[in-house]
Amino acid sequence: MSLTKIIALLKRQDPQSFAGLAHSIVDGWINRSGDEPKWSEKALKMAEYGHDQGQGNKGSQKGIFTQFPTVEKAIITYLNQLQDASVPLTLVTIRGIVVALIMQLAPEIFEIKAANGSEFRCSDSFI
């Protein structure tokens, strides 16, 4: 399958994650050292650990809210309303709001384990 077809397929399956996917990124996932091209070990590891290939060869943990789109929408809506009302928002207040909304709407988010055994934490870097 060509790089163009792989990218088109990925974008159809998950338009948000793969929106900016470039040919050079996909090409980096392919090991061409043997008789036939195959996925590189690094690409297979990222997929095994649930990493979002749409973020290049670095990989990144796929957003926890892909499984909870209503929670994500509620958080964004609430924060946008506060911003529209000119409420000062700091990292601490935003994290408090996010944690409160998760606890109210889907507390099980804090219990989900990633393939590598880690659990979701609403850290500064997440916010």
Residues 22-76: tens digit of each pLDDT = 888 888 888 889 888 888 888 887 776 655 444 443 444 457 887 888 999 999 9
The two structure tokens encoding residue 4: 């163009």
pLDDT attached to residue 50? 59
If one compares 31 and 123, the residue with the highest pLDDT of the two is 31
Task: Give the per-residue pLDDT at 48.
Answer: 67
Q: Which residues contact 30 (CB under 8 A, 6 or more apart)?
A: 37, 38, 39, 40, 43
- Determine the pLDDT at residue 70: 92
Question: Could you report the per-residue pLDDT of 79-107, keeping only the tens digit for each?
Answer: 999 999 999 999 999 999 999 999 999 99
Beta-strand ranges (E) seen in the chain are 30-31, 38-39
Predicted structure pTM score: 0.53
Output the pLDDT for position 53: 44
- Tally of CA atoms within 13 A in the half-sphere of 31 that contains its CB: 10
In the Cβ-directed half-sphere of 49, how many Cα atoms lie within 13 Å? 15
